[in-house]
Amino acid sequence: MPTSVIRLVRFTGRLLLALAAVTTLVVVFLALIALTDGAGSGLAAWLTTLGVGAVLAMWLGRRRTWPARLVPFLPVVVAAALTASVCIPTVPTARRYPPALPFVTTQHWSLATGSRVAVYHYPPANPGTRHPIPLVYLNGGPVRGISVLDHRFLQLLARQGYDVYAYEQAGGGRSDLLPMSQYTISRPVRDLAAFVDRLNKGKVDILGFSSGGAVLTRALADPSIAARLHRAIIAEPGPMDGPTARTSGHKGRKSARGLAPAMTGPRSTHVPRYAVAFGLMRLGLLTPDTGLIGQAEGDNAFTAADLGSDTASAYCARDAHRIPAEDTAQNFSFSPAASLRIQQTVKDSPSIASKLRRSRTPAMLMIAECSSQLRQWETTVLANDLAIQRTQYMPGVGHHMWNGLDDNNDRAVAVITAFLQGKPAPLPNYPTRDEIPTFLHDHK
């Protein structure tokens, strides 16, 4: 065998061994991140990995001549450089709140629960058609700011004569952060009661969307909170309790997930620090209050593009190539760690079905044809809330039912206002409680 070939084989073998050593050290680092819960911004794991690598390098080089003793340290240096990027913040570690919106004043209300929330008020555009009962909007998330698309929809409701109030739940948007331990599903329910009390206008109508619908459902199951509510609209709700969250089932008609063009824009998950942090949190290997990144830093880092196909899943397949811009980069806000913690507390919560059955607050359920929510999350609410007076199955729309496309906003407004005013529904009452088995069997 020629000498050049032998040298190439030896070089390739040494290179592969070096790459294997680097990979092993990176894996050890990630394992230590998980074991230490990211203590000290990851430095505890980094220093330990560096120390272990250095000891092994010294042991491997113990019988070599002096210059050759440094060779085993090269993989350690490379691994240290790669993993160091996980320990260095690239965004501010103090919360950077979105700037004020140009079309509505942001107020900040301190609630009796201790939450300080950002509040938006859209008074009736036409005082002559003013409706006497305020309408409060609970947005989805959980722990996400109210999108510009939703603000436009709230303005449309105000033009129908409604006195509309919306607030971003604690930790979301321009609302103040909470200690991570206080993000539980019970907190936004108590905040809702405190908000209505702070509003001090008597009973209110509530529109709860997505996770906001789950909060509203739980509020209806609490007689002391439900007494503050006049009428409730539960739109595309998330799971209301642990048994519901653990239910298997199917979603609505095909969504645009996997069909729509990939979202553009910067992604925090392209940065090693946040890719590791959010990835391990999603896998359950880091706690939401991990020492790797703080809540504020995670909020600052997360971008709309990080949601990936989640946004597309809120639209019907037919709309895959015309999904509107839901928000601006400046207004977008989402707290991934707090959201995961609230979702976990939902999974850990006991059933509220027996309490919900005693609800007397008139309610309406809105479900979308191309819903990305499990149908069983929605039908469980319908089956147990005996005060639901009508269900409106919204054709041609996905999870985000008021999306500015075609006449979708107008149709959503028609459904909402008809119920709030006690007028006949513009759509059939479908599915009814008795039709749930058939509705699920037909995979509607």
Question: Over the stretch 94-145, which tens digit does the pLDDT of each residue have?
Answer: 999 999 999 999 999 999 999 999 999 999 987 677 899 999 999 998 999 9
Lowest mean pLDDT among 116-120, 149-153, 309-313: 309-313
The rounded distance, in Å, linking the Cα atoms of 413 and 415 is 5
Using DSSP bridges, classify how beta strands 116-122 and 164-168 pair: parallel, antiparallel or unpaired. antiparallel
Higher pLDDT, 39 or 128: 39
Averaged pLDDT, 240-249? 95
Q: Is the pLDDT of residue 322 over 80?
A: yes
The answer to whether the CB of 338 falls within 8 A of the CB of 289 is no
3-state secondary structure of 231: strand
Confidence class of residue 264 from pLDDT cuts 50, 70 and 90? confident
Q: Is the pLDDT of residue 6 over 80?
A: no
The reported pLDDT for the residue numbered 59 is 72
Confidence class of residue 334 from pLDDT cuts 50, 70 and 90? very high
Averaged pLDDT, 374-387? 97
Percentage, residues of the chain above pLDDT 70: 93
The answer to whether the CB of 333 falls within 8 A of the CB of 307 is no
Q: Which residues are CB-contacts of 237 (< 8 A; sequence separation ≥ 6)? A: 208, 210, 213, 214, 216, 217, 365, 373, 377, 378, 381
The answer to whether the CB of 271 falls within 8 A of the CB of 246 is no
Name the token pair of 23: 């990979």
Q: Which residues are CB-contacts of 433 (< 8 A; sequence separation ≥ 6)? A: 382, 383, 388
CA distances 189 to 183, 186, 234, 408, Å, are: 11, 5, 14, 29
The reported pLDDT for the residue numbered 18 is 67
Q: Which residues are CB-contacts of 69 (< 8 A; sequence separation ≥ 6)? A: 58, 61, 62
How would you list the strands of the sheet with 135-138, edge to edge?
107-110, 116-122, 164-168, 135-138, 204-209, 229-235, 363-370, 388-398
Over residues 382-418, the pLDDT tens digits come to: 999 999 999 999 999 999 999 999 999 999 999 999 9
**SS3 letters for 75-95?**
HHHHHHHHHHHHHCCCCCCCC
Confidence class of residue 53 from pLDDT cuts 50, 70 and 90? confident
Helix or strand (DSSP H, E) at 393: strand 388-398
Task: Tell me which residue of 175, 129, 120 sits closest to 152, measured CA to CA.
Answer: 120
Question: Tokens 């359920």 label which residue?
Answer: 365
Lowest mean pLDDT among 16-30, 50-64, 261-275: 50-64
Read out DSSP for 129-187? G--SS-EEEE--SSSBPPPHHHHHHHHHHHHTT--EEEEEPTTSTTSPP--GGG--THH
The reported pLDDT for the residue numbered 179 is 97
Name the token pair of 123: 């008074």
What top-level class would CATH report for the domain 107-253+313-441?
A: alpha beta
Read out DSSP for 301-347? H--GGGGTHHHHTTSBGGGTT-----S-TTT--B-HHHHHHHHHHHH
pTM summary value: 0.92
Over residues 343-371, the pLDDT tens digits come to: 999 999 999 999 999 999 999 999 999 99
Domain with CATH 3.40.50.1820 in the chain: 107-253+313-441
3-state secondary structure of 370: strand
